[in-house]
């Protein structure tokens, strides 16, 4: 959403005048329609009401709007020589479309972060800027000339990167693959998107974890899937639940994040994995293993992936550099049977013609030149420090407000709040005090949990953030 | 699709053995199923039949497959301890999904190019490698340290790039905008995809040009749109046709490429543009102006864009660096009313979390540091040379086989063939002789046209390519 730019010399009220004028001329507010009240617009833009009053006065002065008796400010009827029917009714377009919008609280959190007010961010499940391998990437860029070609890249992905990933997957995760069975994507998010668009049809039943990764929910809903939930406990989902779901709903696919699950952090128990693979293979159901976190295992001893145990080829494996290197590179991969890779490649070519060569080339260099090993060591050490700091804070600051299980990897802590809370209201209080987190109900789970990221805030922000959160809880629970 | 790798030391037959073994173990060919015949597989992979025979013998020797009496080669029943029901039936998944595959001839052309046999490429509507600003980009990368952040980028796009585009659009195309009304996309392709997914619903009627940009057709069909065609002549579409379509089908959107239209190269006449805008505004129908080619105007005097004439905000404007700088950067932009930008940003965040920062940063540097002007001059000069060479070739080599209108920009020549031809069969003949083009019927138009790109082949390939094409025509028309 547009916000006034506080870094330029143009006065804010003037920026708002121009902005509203543009919206009017673009037909968002057709002639005769009523503008948002001054108070409402001020709220939306995060400015004082008096600033909006000034802006509306400007618009009135230039004859674009007029005061409407008792009903605020209205777009002048014959300004621009427009009649209402002359511009497209954008509202009906924006509200149409098969693609559903994000959940409102996700938009809310994103808005807060975009304001750049210095709010402490326990909400984003990503690394802090100091943990990205920025120096390495900078020197890669400066020391190695880019000799690749600049035409349309193979939509399946830059082949040297796919070849490097074959060794990477084998070495780090004991996963066998070939470059022909790997598709490079713009992160796990795009992998999930391609799978839902190309392999599933509206009304298909699929099983997902409860709670589960929040950004995938609207995407699944946009695809018209029927979602059935597999409760996650400390040891992951219970595979026997799948049999029941299959009998009742003929589920066609299972989406799991077995290692350091988002949001709970739990690791699926080995016996459960084995049983899960047996069941999936018996019923012929594909499992999508969404695996962004395995290599964050703090002790350097990652649990096995499902894919490495998969003998029947039931597992579509999804990985990404986002959580172990840099989310801004937008590099992910999908390992699947040849026919599936071919199908998804063909579709993604229609959606965006494939990824830019350059980040793929950077990723290839970064992984293949041994930078990765060192980076991973540092990353684990720093993540462990931060996790410990957050746990220390929870113990010293939070009293008995929260319980949690100590995560052994991943980027988040999943906390149960030992009080009655409305997690959205709690978020409001927390934002007022300068800290963001993700309400648990976002993940589809019951009220009473929150997810806080220890990876995203700077080390020094962890304790202050927890104090603000404690204040918010005090207010909310009193 | 997988192809044997001729650059490694591993024998081809061995590569094929491994490949088929993998497909079998991944459940593509369940136990008991029949493998493709040796001849068919050899054809698909572009190898001799004897090579596949060797591979199948290997598979037989290791007990994975067996000869089936009279019916070829069959996967052994109890190898792997699998029963047919144990692996997912990938075929049903691959054939499901709402997303339609690309047209077969597009896949065919892509396959030929992927083989890297040195075939002369008149098919790809993109620049040749020597026309990309590779040196400039290389030195940008080496001389300017990347100081951006490496976290998730704003899904609306890197703000400095949006700001630079505001000046760029004003200066080069007389288009007014603000950075808040620009969305950065992974090329025009993604812009079109977002529009169809987010602003239109299945069964909506839309108007497209005939002939029109081929890659958009399956995408529109995947979205369930009803397509109505506006014939394109030398001066573009006839705007009055829209009134008829609107009366009959309530068309909800119009997709146009008014400057150097793909594939015809035609420029929409100014009176028609003005009338079109009047009609669209009268009926309240948005126009999507897909404008990748304007700045390729060979004489440096680009025709005006629709957007620059649009007073009522009916035009959603789409641009891209693909045809004027480098398609492999995957940088495009969409200019739209605020609500539309907000909606598309929200959706694309769900699809891929936004673009990698790095190509956006490169694009920003490239445009803002004045490299662009010089590059554009060189580009136009070189394109003009190539177009002239191709026209010379058509005159000297083709006799009276083809007629065409001289294109003043864009990357292609649209040729009418003055004989009865089956353009797909002609393509087969041409491929045999070492040249690729795009059959006209791909663009939805009548038989009897082909599109040949003068931009993609190297200068020295233009005449030989035309000779091969002439041979193919001789055979086909005799
Ligand atoms: C479980 C899970 N899957 C997928 C993603 C998307 O990550 P990427 O940046 O690779 O698209 C995330 C990001 O938070 C995640 O937690
Ligand atoms: C008319 C038209 N639109 C869109 C595109 C897609 O271009 P890109 O996604 O590379 O910007 C092309 C490419 O050929 C085209 O010709």
Residue B294 has a pLDDT of: 98
Instruction: Report the pocket of ligand 2 as residue ranges, CB < 6 Å.
Output: A 353; B 125, 187-189, 213, 257, 262, 290, 292, 320, 322, 327, 332
In the predicted model, what is the mean pLDDT of chain A? 90
Residue B62 has a pLDDT of: 79
- Residues in chain B with CB shorter than 8 Å from the CB of A358 are 328-329, 356, 358-359, 362
CA of B218 to the centre of ligand 2 (A): 14
Is B112 in a helix, a strand, or coil? helix
Is residue B200 within 8 A of residue B225, CB to CB? The reply is yes
Residue A32 has a pLDDT of: 79
Which residues of chain A fall short of a pLDDT of 50? 79-85
Asked whether the beta carbons of residue A107 and residue B346 sit closer than 8 angstroms, the reply is: yes
Ligand showing the shortest atom-to-Cα distance for residue B126: 2
C-beta of A125 in contact with ligand 1 (< 6 A): yes
Residue A85 has a pLDDT of: 45
- Residues in chain A with CB shorter than 8 Å from the CB of B80 are 311-312
As a whole number of angstroms, the distance between CA B385 and CA B323 comes to: 17
Q: What is the DSSP letter of B325?
A: I
As a whole number of angstroms, the distance between CA B249 and CA B243 comes to: 10
Q: Please report which confidence band the pLDDT of residue B78 belongs to, taking 50, 70 and 90 as the band edges.
A: low
In this structure, which residue's CA is closest to atom 14 in ligand 1? A125
Residue B80 has a pLDDT of: 46
This prediction has a pTM of 0.88
In the numeric block, the tokens 């996967």 are attached to B75
Asked whether the beta carbons of residue B351 and residue A327 sit closer than 8 angstroms, the reply is: no
Residue B254 has a pLDDT of: 97
Say if the ipTM goes beyond 0.90: no
End-to-end CA distance of chain A: 35
* Segment among A382-386, B72-76, B267-271 with least mean pLDDT: B72-76
Asked whether the beta carbons of residue A342 and residue B1 sit closer than 8 angstroms, the reply is: yes
Query: Does the domain made of A12-94 have the CATH classification 1.10.10.10?
Result: yes
Phi-psi region of A434 (alpha: psi -120 to 50; beta: other; left: phi over 0): left
Fold of B104-126+375-476: 3.90.1150
In the numeric block, the tokens 């004028």 are attached to A21
Phi-psi region of A399 (alpha: psi -120 to 50; beta: other; left: phi over 0): left
Is B425 in a helix, a strand, or coil? helix
Would you say residue B454 has pLDDT above 70? Answer: yes
Nearest to B362 among A114, A331, A358 (CB): A358
Is residue B75 within 8 A of residue B64, CB to CB? The reply is yes
- CATH of range B147-369; options 2.40.170.20, 3.40.50.300, 3.40.640.10, 3.40.50.10420: 3.40.640.10
Q: Where along chain A do its domains lie?
A: 12-94, 104-126+375-476, 147-369
Nearest to A348 by CA among A184, A135, A169: A184
Residue B84 has a pLDDT of: 43
Task: Evaluate the CA torsion angle B114, B117, B122, B127 in order and state its sign.
Answer: positive
As a whole number of angstroms, the distance between CA A197 and CA A184 comes to: 17
C-beta of A257 in contact with ligand 1 (< 6 A): yes
Task: Evaluate the CA torsion angle A92, A94, A97, A98 in order and state its sign.
Answer: negative
- Residues in chain B with CB shorter than 8 Å from the CB of A154 are 114
Would you say residue B83 has pLDDT above 50? Answer: no
As a whole number of angstroms, the distance between CA B276 and CA B361 comes to: 37
Per DSSP bridges, beta strands A182-185 and B315-320 are: unpaired
Q: Ligand 1 pocket: which of A106, A187, A194, A412 to mutate (most atoms <8 Å of CB)?
A: A187
As a whole number of angstroms, the distance between CA A318 and CA A213 comes to: 14
The answer to whether B12-94 and B104-126+375-476 have equal CATH topology is no
Q: Ligand 1 pocket: which of A261, A288, A320, A451 to mutate (most atoms <8 Å of CB)?
A: A320
User: Within 10 Å of residue A385's Cβ, how many Cβ atoms?
Assistant: 14
- Residues in chain A with CB shorter than 8 Å from the CB of B153 are 328
- DSSP state string for A298-364: TTS-PPPPHHHH-SSS-EEEEEESIIIIIGGG--EEEE--HHHHHHHHHHHHHHHSS--HHHHHHHH
Residue B81 has a pLDDT of: 43
Point out the ligand 2 atom lying closest to the alpha carbon of residue B257.
1
CA of B364 to the centre of ligand 2 (A): 20
Q: Please report which confidence band the pLDDT of residue B145 belongs to, taking 50, 70 and 90 as the band edges.
A: confident
Q: Please report which confidence band the pLDDT of residue B193 belongs to, taking 50, 70 and 90 as the band edges.
A: very high
| Token couple for A226 | 């029927």
In the predicted model, what is the mean pLDDT of chain B? 90
C-beta of A191 in contact with ligand 1 (< 6 A): no
| Token couple for B329 | 């950067």
* Percent of chain B residues past pLDDT 90, beyond the cut: 65
Would you say residue B464 has pLDDT above 90? Answer: yes
């Amino acid at each position: 959403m547009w916000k006034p730019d506080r870094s330029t010399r143009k006065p804010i009220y003037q920026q708002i005048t121009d902005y509203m004028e543009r919206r009017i001329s673009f037909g968002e507010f057709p002639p005769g329609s009523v503008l948002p009240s001054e108070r409402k617009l001020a709220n939306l833009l995060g400015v004082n009401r008096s600033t909006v009053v000034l802006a509306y006065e400007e618009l009135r002065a230039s004859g674009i709007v007029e005061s409407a008796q008792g009903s605020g400010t209205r777009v002048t009827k014959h300004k621009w020589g427009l009649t209402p029917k002359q511009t497209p009714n954008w509202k009906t377009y924006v509200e149409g479309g098969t693609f559903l919008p994000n959940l409102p609280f996700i938009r809310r959190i994103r808005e807060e972060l975009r304001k750049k007010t210095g709010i402490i961010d326990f909400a984003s499940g990503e690394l802090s800027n100091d943990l990205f391998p920025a120096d390495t990437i900078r020197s890669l860029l400066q020391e190695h000339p880019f000799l690749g070609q600049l035409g349309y890249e193979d939509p399946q992905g830059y082949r040297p990167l796919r070849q490097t990933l074959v060794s990477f997957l084998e070495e780090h995760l004991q996963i066998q693959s070939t470059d022909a069975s790997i598709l490079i994507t713009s992160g796990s998010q795009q992998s999930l998107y391609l799978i839902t668009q190309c392999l599933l049809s509206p009304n298909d039943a699929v099983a997902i974890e409860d709670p589960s990764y929040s950004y995938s929910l609207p995407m699944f809903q946009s695809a018209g899937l029927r979602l059935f939930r597999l409760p996650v406990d400390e040891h992951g989902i219970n595979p026997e639940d799948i049999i029941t779901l299959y009998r009742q709903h003929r589920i066609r696919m299972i989406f799991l994040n077995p290692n350091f699950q988002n949001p709970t952090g739990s690791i699926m128990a080995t016996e459960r994995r084995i049983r899960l693979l047996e069941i999936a293979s018996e019923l012929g159901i594909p499992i999508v293993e969404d695996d962004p976190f395995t290599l964050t295992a703090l002790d350097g001893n990652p649990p096995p992936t499902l894919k490495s145990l998969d003998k029947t080829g039931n597992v579509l494996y999804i990985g990404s550099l986002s959580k172990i290197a840099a989310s801004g590179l937008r590099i992910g991969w999908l390992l699947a049977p040849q026919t599936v890779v071919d199908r998804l490649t063909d579709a993604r070519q229609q959606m965006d013609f494939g990824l830019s060569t350059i980040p793929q080339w950077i990723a290839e260099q970064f992984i293949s030149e041994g930078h990765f090993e060192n980076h991973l060591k540092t990353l684990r050490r720093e993540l462990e420090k931060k996790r410990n700091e957050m746990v220390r804070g929870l113990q010293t600051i939070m009293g008995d407000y929260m319980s949690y299980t100590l995560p052994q990897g991943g980027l988040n802590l999943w906390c149960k709040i030992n009080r009655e809370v409305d997690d959205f209201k709690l978020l409001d209080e927390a934002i007022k005090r300068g800290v963001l987190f993700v309400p648990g109900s976002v993940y589809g789970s019951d009220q009473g949990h929150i997810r806080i990221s220890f990876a995203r805030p700077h080390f020094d922000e962890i304790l202050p953030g927890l104090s603000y959160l404690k204040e918010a809880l005090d207010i909310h629970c009193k």
